[in-house]
Structure 1
Amino acid sequence: MGTLVTNHPQHNRLSNEHQCSLPEPHGLDLSRAAPSLLKDSPHCRPRSPWWSWSGKAIAAVEINSSFYRPHRTATYERWAASVPENLLFAVKVPKAITHELRLKDADDQLDCFLSEVSGLGPKLGPLLVQLPPSLRFEDGVADSFLTELRARVQGSIVCEPRHASWFTPEVEALLAELRIARVAADPAPIPGADEPGGWRRLSYYRLHGSPRIYYSAYTTEYLAATAEVLARDAAAGVETWCIFDNTAAFAATRNALTTRSLVQARL
């Protein structure tokens, strides 16, 4: 994945993600005091883990490996114990729930996942529910799943739908009622998907790279405009995360660091 910016009620953070024993950071968090940054790097070495060189810069990590395979609770506990005190982890819900079961009859899988991520303890940030582009909003299925998820989770939840049926006033009202934020994504798969929605006390931006998804670096002009939005949300007391996912050509870290500087200048 890429790089993240978030605004947590207690301080600002920026982060980035790595593929080593611990997922590499890829984002920036504007929530506590000063934004910090994370990014995923294939050059991570056990003798020089990313948190040793990024230290004060990193404040948030989005774990994506959980989407593909489960991790033991002990693994999450080890990750939580290995990072700076102020760092939080967002965790992606498994594809077994979102893409294979398509939100149906997923109670057992959901309970197992939540038990695993409990190992992060107070370092657990938002849970990310990314849905397949073909998954329509289906009454009795999507609303039931989200209601059950909220009943089990006290913390932050974000949803990244990619089908037009999710972008209606009725679904927006449901997400707001359940305190679930809708991800703002670039490129936007659906008109309006580039703006945050749902519960508006949390903003979660996922920037995948444009025009070439996962590869393209963002222009300075785009980053400046993004920084304005992030600073605005942070100043309003909104918990704000921004993930740069354009990691295939190693653009995410550079874009995140630039954005962090631009945001800091505005706070």
Structure 2
Amino acid sequence: MTSPRKASTTVRIGCAGWSIPAAHRALFGAGDSMLARYATRFDCVEINSSFYRPHRRQTYARWASSVPRGFRFSVKLPRTISHEQRLRASGPLLDRFLEECSGLGGKLGCLLLQLPPSLALEPRVAATFLAMLRRRFAGAVACEPRHASWFAPRAAELLRRHRIARVAADPVPHPGADLPAGDGAFAYWRWHGSPRMYYSAYGEADLRARAALVRSQRVRRQWVILDNTAHGHAIADAACLQAILRRGGTRS
């Protein structure tokens, strides 16, 4: 029998993108599109293409119509905001992005803000941006910082104050980056493949250890995104993690 804390934890498991390698097609049911087929197995997906280019609101709406009611999307904020503007003077860009991805409707589950490794924490700039984001969007937000300054206690407190989850990443860019921080009700894991980022598979033994970390978190909602997509390992690893967590009693 699982503890009340574990039983109340919901874990969504998915991949960065919905490409399905031919070797893993048997894991999925039928569907009118690759996304529809992907959604027969997983209940979330991370959209990374929005980082590189905008998508029309109608495109997001079409994606939303392709998946079941309980499916959710995580959408990555554009690099124009995170890497070019570096969180400064980006209100119009943010408004445009939010208008576009509003096409997902209630299936918009999370926003993902990935920061460049060179972007150090500037508390005033970060607080201004996060407050602006929160005035416009009340849902779940995850931030993946990669500069060491973002892993200090004051950064965690800033994220917590604005209800932003600090991504728990692998490979680990700095000590402590492998565990969630910030928002106490939401955790977001991004596993990029290790030892070779984007290319390496995790395998069952590694995923068992990672599943234990996921189970140990005292948060109501968690997302786990596999981003080791370069050789198609994300699908198999996500399916394996799904099975491990189900056997362990955590809802997924």
Smaller-chain TM-score bracket: 0.7 to 0.9
Distance 1:153 1:13 in 2: 21
Residue number among 54, 67, 72 corresponding to 1:70 in the alignment = 54
Q: Does 1:263 align with 2:245?
A: yes
Taking only aligned residues, the RMSD between alpha carbons, in angstroms, comes to 2.2
Q: Does 1:138 align with 2:122?
A: yes
Report the AA paired with residue 228 of structure 2. N
Deviations 1:81-137 (CA, angstroms, capped at 9, x unpaired)? 111111100000000000011111101100110111111110001100000000011
SS in structure 1 of the partner of residue 123 of structure 2 = coil
SS in structure 2 of the partner of residue 214 of structure 1 = coil
Cα 1:237–1:169 change in 2 (3 A) is closer
Q: Which residue of 1 aligns with 2:14?
A: 15
CA apart distance, 1:183: 0.1
Q: Which residue of 1 aligns with 2:141?
A: 157
SS in structure 2 of the partner of residue 66 of structure 1 = helix
Cα 1:55–1:138 change in 2 (3 A) is closer
CA contact (8 A) 2:16 2:227 kept: no
Distance 2:84 2:140 in 1: 24
CA apart distance, 1:221: 2.0
Cα 1:55–1:140 change in 2 (3 A) is closer
Equivalent runs, 1:76-225 vs 2, <5 Å: 76-225=60-209
* Greater displacement, 142-151 / 124-133: 142-151
CA apart distance, 1:56: 3.9
Aligned length: 237
Report the AA paired with residue 14 of structure 1. I
CA contact (8 A) 1:74 1:119 kept: yes
Distance 1:139 1:223 in 2: 35
SS in structure 2 of the partner of residue 70 of structure 1 = coil
Cα 1:224–1:96 change in 2 (3 A) is same
Distance 2:9 2:176 in 1: 30
CA contact (8 A) 2:191 2:226 kept: yes
Runs (5+) with no aligned partner, structure 1: 1-6, 19-23, 25-39
Normalized per residue, the structure richer in helix is 2
Task: State the TM-score, normalizing by the size of structure 1.
Answer: 0.83
Distance 1:115 1:201 in 2: 26
Runs (5+) with no aligned partner, structure 2: 1-5, 26-30
Report the AA paired with residue 242 of structure 1. V
SS in structure 2 of the partner of residue 242 of structure 1 = strand
Distance 1:248 1:54 in 2: 17
Q: Identity of aligned pairs, percent?
A: 47
Residue number among 9, 12, 20 corresponding to 1:41 in the alignment = 20
CA apart distance, 1:51: 4.5
CA contact (8 A) 1:51 1:84 kept: no
CA contact (8 A) 2:60 2:103 kept: yes
Cα 1:215–1:182 change in 2 (3 A) is same
Distance 1:238 1:125 in 2: 14
SS in structure 1 of the partner of residue 88 of structure 2 = coil
Q: Which residue of 1 aligns with 2:28?
A: none
Equivalent runs, 1:51-66 vs 2, <5 Å: 51-66=35-50
Distance 2:181 2:162 in 1: 12
Task: State the TM-score, normalizing by the size of structure 2.
Answer: 0.87
CA apart distance, 1:169: 1.2
